[in-house]
């Protein structure tokens, strides 16, 4: 299996622009997670989906952030408009989503976002 695929790997944009990050989970995985990693705040869960339905979006910073999962093999995280403080590494992860406490999450390589 190819693992979790994220694109782009790097993104540099200017403040105010729209940014779209993409994720393809591992085939057969039913849960998908979006994380943000910064030096100051560490690894934060932004939102997660189960069977394409958003279950918990309490970590989404503000209305500028939105996430969708139109089907089992694709998800997007959008920031509109972007701000310099959004600069971070964004990770997507997936798991089998069998509602087990011991479920392993598999992480993608991340998208390094820089907003100028």
Q: Which of residues 9-38 bind another protein (CB under 8 A)?
A: 31
> Which residue, among 64, 56, 55, 60, has the nearest Cα to 16 in the 3D structure?
64
CA contacts within 13 A on the Cβ side of 109 = 8
Q: Which of residues 51-110 bind another protein (CB under 8 A)?
A: 55-56, 91, 93, 95, 97, 99-110
Given the DSSP bridges, would you call strands 111-115 and 10-13 parallel, antiparallel or unpaired?
parallel
Residue-level length of the chain:
116
Q: Which is nearer to another protein, 85 or 98 (CB)?
A: 98
Q: Which stretch binds another protein (CB under 8 A): 19-27, 48-56, 63-71, 75-83?
A: 48-56
What does the binding site for another protein look like in residue numbers (CB under 8 A)?
A: 4, 31, 42-43, 45, 48, 50, 55-56, 91, 93, 95, 97, 99-110
């Amino acid at each position: 299996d190819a693992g979790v695929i994220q694109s782009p790997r790097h993104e540099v944009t200017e403040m105010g622009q729209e940014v779209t990050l993409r994720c393809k989970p591992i085939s057969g995985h039913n849960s998908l997670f979006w994380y943000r990693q910064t030096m100051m705040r560490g690894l934060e869960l932004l939102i997660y989906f189960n069977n394409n339905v958003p279950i918990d979006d309490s970590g989404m910073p503000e209305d500028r952030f939105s996430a969708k999962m139109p089907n089992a093999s694709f998800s997007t995280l959008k920031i509109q408009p972007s701000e310099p403080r959004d600069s971070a590494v964004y990770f997507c992860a997936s798991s089998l989503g069998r509602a087990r406490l011991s479920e392993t999450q598999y992480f993608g390589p991340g998208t390094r976002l820089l907003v100028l």
